[in-house]
Amino acid sequence: MGKNVLVIEDEPNIIEAISFILSRDGWSVATHSNGHDAVGVVQDAMPDLVILDVMLPGKTGYDILRELRSEDATQSLPVLMLTAKGQIKDREMAERAGASRFMTKPFSNAEVLDAVRELVAG
């Protein structure tokens, strides 16, 4: 496969879990842990997929996603949003911001892998 994924998440255990799952499946995983400069990091890395947490220090995942969707280079970049909040309003906000897919924490390894494969293949 050899695709590149950028995980923007501030919880070390989640970063470690996702990195392990995807690396084991042949993905190249880069990580970033704050919202302040996340848009610039995405633009510099230009990954095949971004896994983006909603609650980040500095800027929310929703704000980051809206910025990414407003730029030509990242407008159609697949973004999997992760959140500990699974309410309908959170899903709706993610959809309005332009999320390709939405997943609540905790998640299973298989769920993450299936979502990433589907988003990059599709």
Q: Which ranges of 26-108 does DSSP label H, i.e. alpha helix? A: 38-45, 61-70, 88-97
Share of the chain above pLDDT 90, in %: 89
pLDDT digits (tens, 9 = 90+) for 76-120: 999 999 988 778 898 899 999 999 999 999 999 999 999 999 999
3-state secondary structure of 119: helix
Mean pLDDT of 5-27: 96
CB neighbourhood size of 108 (10 A): 10
Buried-state track 89-98, b at ≥16 Cβ within 10 A, e below 16: ebbebbeebb
- pLDDT of residue 7 exceeding 90, the answer is yes
- pLDDT of residue 1 exceeding 80, the answer is no
| Predicted TM-score of the model (pTM) | 0.95
